[in-house]
Amino acid sequence: MSRNDIPFMTAMETASAIKSGEISPSEAVQTYLDRIDRLDPALRAYITVCREEALGAARQLESDLARGTAKGPLCGVPIAVKDQFWTQDILTTNGSRVYQEFVPSEDATVVARIKQAGGILLGKLNMSELAMGGTQHPPYGTPGNPWDLERSPGESSSGSGVALAAHLCAASLGEDTGGSGRGPAAYCGVVGLRPTFTRVSRHGMTPMCWFMDAAAPMGKTVEDCALILGAIAGYDPKDPYTSRRPVPDYTAGLGREIRGLRVGLIRELHESNDMHPDVKEAIEAALEVFRQQGAEVGEVSIPLIPLAGAIFVGIADTEGAGARDEILRNQPQDLDPASRTRLQSAALVPAKVYNRAAKARVVLRRQFEEALQKVDILVSATAPYPAPKHTDLTAPFESADDVRARFFFRRSYTGCYALAALPAISVPGGFTSPERDAGALPIGLQLGAAPFAEETLLQAAYAYQQATSWHTRRAPGAQG
């Protein structure tokens, strides 16, 4: 095996090659470090590269392998995590100047479990400030989308998507409050999974909205996300809200046929006139892929879902403002102007508005429950359009309609699953026409399922992935 092949291997392939002795952990780590040195100055995926720590962990693993004591499904896999997760004795900025000197005394539970599974921490990834999205002047640089550096890689787990698409790590861990993992996965052409709320511990994860925050496994393939989820899921006494349900082997069911699986297109998310035509065509083509594999394909209605973006912002931003009250009072000057304005505005939301949003959330969840009695898998686009240009995201709002279109519309696609506490995954689902967008851009296909139905969700996503080739394409920014 050539060393040049290492960055383009999946996490599962990397672990297998290390266990078999085809490559060493040090070779894998050094290869990624060399790519980071070469490509990341333009991409800005990383805030902190854990160079010495990663090489030291690789050498220790080599000793364990020689003694026959090395174990774990992520054996030797170089993994990078969003800088929202605590890392012992390593800077954890949360993408903000407010935390520019914060060095935790312990690892987040998910980071500790990745290490216990044999994974090697490669570095801390760039993100929108405080996991909010909309940062105008990111203090650690603006991450560039490897498919087009002038376009957004998605928010807020920006670096988690960029690093994967540019092959600057074998797998990554993002965080998904309302789509912050699935959105970057869609824009960057990789896979992003939001688990069921309480499936994964949140201890050591700086919060945005406590009852919607979720650690988000991200990978080059569906099986990589299944592998990581299996490593990090399960009850954690440090997070008493985590479920005590047994953690299955999420990789075991991959490859099973999906004949008879009931698949339902969410009508309200597909009928919008504002959806990019290539995105709409890609979702319809995906339904045909499921149909060809024997799935029962139809439509379902979730009437409140077009308002999910507004409901999400009404709840999440208000919760976020409450969690950051001390920062707003004592360090507002350290916040990005957009973050400060958004938090200050959310702090003024009347109780009756928050109460109405909370009630609407319950209604939305009930509508999801009714839809999931009719189907096993829900289908939609992850985002209604491909990655927008950075300048489009930072342009001043021109009207109330502009606010609704830019701030609420796209959030309905992913925020709905967070509001309903359901699992969802984004997988590569096609590309836009090069002529229409001056270069082909990734399209994300989103699948959702019932609570704790990750096995079925991953099975369906894997079946689609194996029937298509979208996940095998390499971004122009990944070359070199």
pLDDT digits (tens, 9 = 90+) for 164-197: 999 999 999 999 999 999 999 999 999 999 999 9
Select which of 96, 156, 157, 158 is catalytic. Answer: 156
Select which of 180, 201, 380, 426 is catalytic. Answer: 180
Query: In this model, does residue 67 exceed pLDDT 90?
Result: yes
pLDDT digits (tens, 9 = 90+) for 376-431: 999 999 999 999 999 887 777 777 777 766 667 889 999 999 999 999 999 999 99
- For the sheet with 46-49, list strands across it: 46-49, 120-125, 78-82, 171-175, 215-219, 191-194, 424-431, 442-448, 377-381, 262-266, 296-300
Ordered DSSP codes for 21-90: TSS-HHHHHHHHHHHHHHHHHHH--EEEE-HHHHHHHHHHHHHHHHHT----TTTT-EEEEETTB-BTTB
Looking at every residue in the chain, the average pLDDT score rounds to: 95
Question: Which residues are registered as beta bridge partners of 79?
Answer: 121, 171
Cβ neighbors of 197 (< 8 A, separation 6 or more) are: 211, 212, 214, 421
Number of neighbouring beta carbons within 10 Å of residue 223: 23
Cβ neighbors of 228 (< 8 A, separation 6 or more) are: 11, 74, 79, 114, 171, 173, 217, 219
Active site residue 156: yes
For residue 436, name the pLDDT band (cuts at 50, 70, 90).
low
Distance CA 453, CA 342 (A): 35
For residue 157, name the pLDDT band (cuts at 50, 70, 90).
very high
- Average pLDDT on 52-70 reads 96
For residue 202, name the pLDDT band (cuts at 50, 70, 90).
very high
Q: What is the pLDDT of residue 71?
A: 85
Active site residue 96: no
Closest of 161, 229, 168, 231 to residue 190, by C-alpha: 161
Give the Å distances, CA to CA, from 350 to 108, 209, 346, 400. 34, 18, 9, 19
Q: What is the pLDDT of residue 437?
A: 59
Contact 427, 222 (CB under 8 A): yes
Token pair for 277: 């035509």
Select which of 82, 115, 124, 220 is catalytic. Answer: 82
Active site residue 157: no
Distance CA 197, CA 452 (A): 9
Distance CA 78, CA 69 (A): 19
Q: Look up the pTM and report it.
A: 0.96
Q: What is the pLDDT of residue 438?
A: 61
Domains of the chain and any CATH numbers:
3-478 (3.90.1300.10)
CA 68 to chain centre: 34
